[in-house]
Amino acid sequence: MTILRSKAIISLGGNLPLGEMSPRQILLAAIQEISLLMGEQCQVSRLFQTPCFPAGAGPDFVNAALTVETRLSPEALLQCLHGVEQKFSRLRKQRWGTRTLDLDLISLSEKVFPDLATHQRWRDLPLEQQVKETPDQLILPHPRMQDRAFVLVPMCDICPEWRHPILGKTAAELCAELPKSDLEAVQPL
């Protein structure tokens, strides 16, 4: 049986140094590590400086996005990304806190995972609940991506025509719907 290749979109971010490595250097090293693990060439966005989310939670982030073709299942790919995070000393102490490296699986081709109802519940969750609750499973596409300039602006560098399988809009269309102040806060490095 042939396992079909899927296009994964991964969002990268970090705002803490690791030893002598700056957040920028960590992201570049993580991109190289992902490429080596996948055995494939990645398409990578520019690096961007973005305000910490939520505002005031720490130093500014460096963010990027990459795409890679994979035969891995969503769960296996997520485990691979968590392994890369651990290599760069990622600690999961605080939701939306400071970190050396954050790798979010944004989408895997047109997969809706685990199902439409779960996705809708997390996509519609009010912000005050988002701070308190963490999903206990992978949800694809990432349920908050359409709200985040630090995800969409880098995505538009490499895959502006990617279409959200539920919302039916491209990355470029979702980005254009964000507040101008959110977009202006995402600055290329």
Question: What is the value of pTM for the model shown?
Answer: 0.90
Instruction: Give the pLDDT band (50/70/90) at residue 93.
Output: low
Q: Which domains does the chain have, with CATH numbers?
A: 6-188 (3.30.70.560)
Check residue 132 and give its pLDDT.
72
Predicted confidence (pLDDT) per residue in 57-76, tens digit: 788 999 999 999 998 888 99
Place of tokens 């954050």: 102
In this structure, the number of other CB atoms found within 10 A of the CB of residue 182 comes to 17
Percentages helix, strand, coil for the chain, rounded to the nearest 5? 35, 20, 45
Q: Contact at 8 Å (CB) between 142 and 171?
A: no
> In this predicted model, what pLDDT tens digit does every residue of 16-58 receive, in sequence order?
999 999 999 999 999 999 998 887 778 999 999 998 866 777 8
| Distance, CA of 78 to CA of 107 (rounded, Å) | 11
